[in-house]
Amino acid sequence: MRAANVKVVQVKLYLYPDKDDDLIAFFRALPRGLGATRVKQGLRHGLGSSSSEAAADPGLLEDLDACVC
């Protein structure tokens, strides 16, 4: 069940071959339905949230490591 006071933020990313190949590969490799979850985790990690959140999900770190060229 979804919370009654949920906030919806729609984001559209334009990813360009050669310039954004790492991100293109990241999104292609994600299992269906995990895109929003991974984007939220990446934003939290990038905004300086505690590293314990990222450590709680080793899959996130593996997904991000796979994108590093």
Better-predicted residue by pLDDT, 60 or 12: 12
Amino acid at 17: P
Answer yes or no: are the C-beta atoms of 62 and 41 closer than 8 Å: no
Residues 15-30 have pLDDT tens digits of 999 999 999 998 899 8
- Read off φ and ψ for residue 66, nearest 5 degrees: -65, -20
Q: Give me the torsion for CA of 69, 45, 38, 22, rounded to 10°.
A: -20
Residues 36-69 have pLDDT tens digits of 888 888 888 886 655 555 456 667 667 666 665 4
Answer yes or no: are the C-beta atoms of 63 and 38 closer than 8 Å: yes
